[in-house]
Structure 1
């Protein structure tokens, strides 16, 4: 839990009776709603800009020395053509030696108020060139180490150029909620990163996954599934569902989905799902498995993940190739301690080619290819092509 915020006022604030009590609940709501926004906390930045009569309110999610600009969510006045990214770049190049302007010097919970009169002359001229009259800055953090900043900039046209005690009190009352919300945001981002990693693994294995809710409607579809569906006529994603042109197969799939939804309620029941086969219009055989999604504590309802459909091409050549030819031979050579030519031959043999076909594609004599194959089998301690296919199938996930 964050400590009580420390207010470091570099400029005196005007005493205004009656802090913005009525506005606080709305802002607190925007703090937590910001977790679900496409641009996190943009709604909060917008509302703060209006409430505090500011030219600019920026939520900085990440400061980095190796980036030309920070990761920022910014709300500015309509028709404001100020290049705020340029302003940031200039101050980082010329003025971060001033402790007051270094975001890293603001500890989580601090509130800083300052203006041109609080900095050295060159910096003051810089602030005035961007018509900056007064700034308020605060910092909040989460246990994992992520730190964020809120900057409120007022211009000379503001009714009150400085910040009042009620303005500071409003920010102070928001800070505890910003701390909590950032912890939730960091956890969600970590989970999203894990999901992307696992989805990438499934895509690499050419395994399509479709996640459905309790009404059988699509929640998400991985890239592999979209690629498979996009290639074959007679199957498409439409109106939030998987649609099959073959009516008999559609009925079988719908029944399998309904069974998976029903089975999900049998907590602890051993139900692996139902298999459905589809002969696509291009002749390719597709296999589908509709299985119940795991039950999650404290997360139930009609629109939670309820069914997983695994989708795979069974007779397509691409799906049968454990090592696509696009993989550099160096990867196979490095993993199995083979020469480049031996690695190329291994990939071709694992894809089902004969020695003669592989030799022709490599542009070498059949006798040379046979010698390479003997070297491969001897190095790997295997008997023949079947064992080689087995090894490369097991190595597929590593050859990316």
Structure 2
């Protein structure tokens, strides 16, 4: 059998697929990782091509600790059925753990009699009008796994060799696309984690492209830029209010862009920007982002500008302080106020305790943290993981 003979196989009641149709189908496989609901278009196409009533892609199998992640194409709402399978029926499903990348039908795997007598068929599949099932399990590198299940109703034709050949054709492409999806998910999870960390530290971040135009900003930067006090975005460019400071800022950005292809990235470039009235100056750190050799994006991230507002205090969690240092509730509250710049008298007043009581709590805190001075205490707390809470 030649590599293209499968194209001539007839699907039930349908003409053979042409090269363009096959190309479109494989295209849907690789579009899958980019969709809001991954591979939904592919599942819809397979449902129509294979005269199925349900097509499901299991990206994370259910377990006793997780409902898993399943995407289904159907003409009806599958919320209840998916929930029932994830809660109970997955544990008694005999059509799982198939040989890797082999397309099989449920009749081939366990036999028709056993299938019709099975609990999952009688109490789950039959009520949802599912008799025929064709599937394939794909196990990729690093524990990545997915399962494709294609179902037909009672009274329909059994899956043919042509149907199986169609599925076999897309299996290697689906395996690659699932690996791409897993890598994208890992990268996105890491990005969100580090972005969240920067937000919790109350640091604004502005990413510029290689022309100095703003690409992205985080929430803290958005808040600072919305004030239009010290820094603004004008015509897509990050600018300082002061003409003198703006010249310095643009020079630092140009310098950072020039350094991005250097084998030894330059040290971060710093600048402080004045604001109106008696507000503290904004601190800026300008840093190069190494260019991506194989990136096809016309606008690549080139420079990161980090913004710190000294008036913003990173607030820690009293509960985390208690867990880390075995503080009492009052001790933790006192320490948090001291890290926010309060004096001991001001902290005592806010906590509605006497100064001598506050001093007694402070001595206990010193004993638990191993420091003897208030400044050292504040430094110990601020340099711990407390601001990341």
**Paired residue for 1:34, among 27, 32, 35?**
32
Instruction: Check the 8 A contact 1:264/1:292 in 2, yes or no.
Output: yes
Uncovered stretches (5+) of structure 2, i.e. residues with no partner: 1-10
Structure 1 residues 132 and 245, CA gap change in structure 2 (3 angstroms): farther
Partner residue in 2 for 1:200: 196
Looking at structure 2, the residues matched to 14 and 333 of structure 1 have their Cα atoms a distance apart, in angstroms, of 68
CA contact (8 A) 1:213 1:304 kept: yes
Kept in 2: contact 1:57–1:150 (CA 8 A): yes
Q: Would you say the 8 A contact 2:63–2:86 is kept in 1?
A: no
Q: In the superposition, relative to structure 1, how do residues 219 and 83 fare at CA in structure 2: closer, same or farther (>3 Å)?
A: same
Residues 254-295 of structure 1, C-alpha deviation per residue, up to 9 Å, x if partnerless? 454343323324443525335351526894532333321123
Given the superposition, is the C-alpha separation of residues 215 and 37 from structure 1 closer, same or farther in structure 2, using an over 3 Å criterion? farther
Are residues 1:327 and 2:317 paired? yes
Counterpart Cα distance in 2 of 1:90 and 1:352:
54
TM normalised by structure 2 equals 0.80
Aligned to 1:285: 281
> Is the 2:47–2:54 contact (alpha carbons within 8 Å) kept by the matching residues of 1?
yes
Equivalent in the alignment of 2:5: none
Residue equivalent to 1:273: 269
Whether contact under 8 Å (2:256, 2:288) holds in the other structure is yes
Query: Greater shift after overlay, 363-372 or 224-233?
Result: 224-233
What does residue range 275-314 of structure 1 map to in structure 2 within 5 Å?
275=271, 277-279=273-275, 283=279, 285-299=281-295, 302-314=298-310
Q: Quick check: 183-192 or 265-274, which moved more?
A: 265-274
2:205 aligned with 1:213: no
Aligned to 2:134: 136
- CA distances 1:122-158 after superposition (whole Å, capped 9, x unpaired): 735854543335332222122221221122233468x
Local SS of the residue matching 1:23: helix
C-alpha distance 42-273 of structure 1, shift in aligned 2 (>3 A): farther
Q: Residues 134 and 154 of structure 1 are in contact (CA less than 8 Å); yes or no, is this contact kept in structure 2?
A: yes
Q: What secondary structure sits across from 1:119 in the alignment?
A: helix
Maintained 8 Å contact 2:240/2:273: no
215 and 366 in structure 1: CA distance in 2 versus 1, 3 angstrom threshold:
same
User: Distance between the aligned counterparts of 1:125 and 1:180, measured in 2?
Assistant: 35
- Cα contact 1:69–1:85 (8 A) shared by 2: no
Mean CA deviation greater in 231-240 or 58-67: 231-240
Distance 1:245 1:155 in 2: 68
How has the CA–CA distance of structure 1 residues 58 and 364 changed in structure 2, closer, same or farther, with 3 Å as cutoff? same
Q: What is the rounded CA distance, in whole Å, between the counterparts of 1:273 and 1:45 in structure 2?
A: 51
Equivalent residue for 1:61?
59
Taking the TM superposition and a 5 Å limit, the aligned residue runs for 1:311-390 are 311-314=307-310, 316=311, 318-319=312-313, 324=315, 327-328=317-318, 330-390=319-379
In 2 relative to 1, CA 93–266 (structure 1 residues): closer, same or farther, beyond 3 Å? closer
Q: Which has the higher contact order (CA 8 A, sep 6+)?
A: 1
Q: Deviations 1:101-139 (Å, cap 9, x if unpaired)?
A: x4x332331322247874228735854543335332222
Residue equivalent to 2:79: 85
Q: 2:160 aligns with which of 143, 158, 164?
A: 164
Distance 2:253 2:179 in 1: 36
Return the TM-score normalized by structure 1.
0.78
- Give the secondary-structure state (helix, strand or coil) at the position aligned to 1:279: coil
User: What displacement does 1:175 show?
Assistant: 0.8
Q: 1:292 to 1:269 in 2, by over 3 A?
A: closer
Displacement after TM superposition at 1:358 (Å)? 1.5
- Aligned-residue CA RMSD in angstroms? 3.6
CA distance, structure 1, for counterparts of residue 188 and residue 245 of structure 2: 34
In the alignment, does 2:171 pair up with 1:181? no
Does the CA-based 8 Å contact 2:261-2:290 persist in structure 1?
A: no
